[in-house]
Amino acid sequence: METRIDGSHSLEDQRRSLHFAELAGPYKLVSFSRADYETLVPGTNEKRPLNKASFDDAPLGQDIPELIMAEISPPSSIDQVIAQQKAAGREIIFFSPAFVGGVEAMVAGFRKPFAP
């Protein structure tokens, strides 16, 4: 499944939207990145950037581990953030450009693995 997320929202608001989509499936997020298109706000000429999210089916009957999203900007590096998240038992899901608050940023997503 693929969906679009309003990139003018904060990263936390986007994370919550993705979490609700996961619970509705149940789905698990497998990719998240800026979309190559925008949307118009109804009744205006205002354009909003969009992100696209892709999901796979989640294992039935299992809790969906919490999704953690982080904007990576200097002086932090993706390697530092991956190491911190790995120490917390989380795996990286994606690292890609996405819109946050209407501005393009590098965003990474992490979660603990699903139970076997």
DSSP character string of the chain: -EEEEETTS-HHHHHHHHHHHHHHTTEEEEEEEEEEEEEEPTTS--EEEEEEEEEEEPPTTSPPPPPEEEEE-TT--HHHHHHHHHHTT-EEEEEEEEEETTEEEEEEEEEPPPP-
pLDDT digits (tens, 9 = 90+) for 86-112: 999 999 999 999 999 999 999 999 999
Higher pLDDT among residues 76 and 3, named by residue: 3
The answer on pLDDT for 18 being more than 80 is yes
Instruction: Give the pLDDT of residue 69.
Output: 97
pLDDT band for position 3 (cuts 50, 70, 90): very high
Instruction: Give the pLDDT of residue 43.
Output: 74
Instruction: Give the pLDDT of residue 114.
Output: 84
The answer on pLDDT for 28 being more than 80 is yes
pLDDT digits (tens, 9 = 90+) for 33-87: 999 877 766 777 778 899 999 999 998 888 899 999 999 988 889 999 999 999 9
Instruction: Give the pLDDT of residue 76.
Output: 82
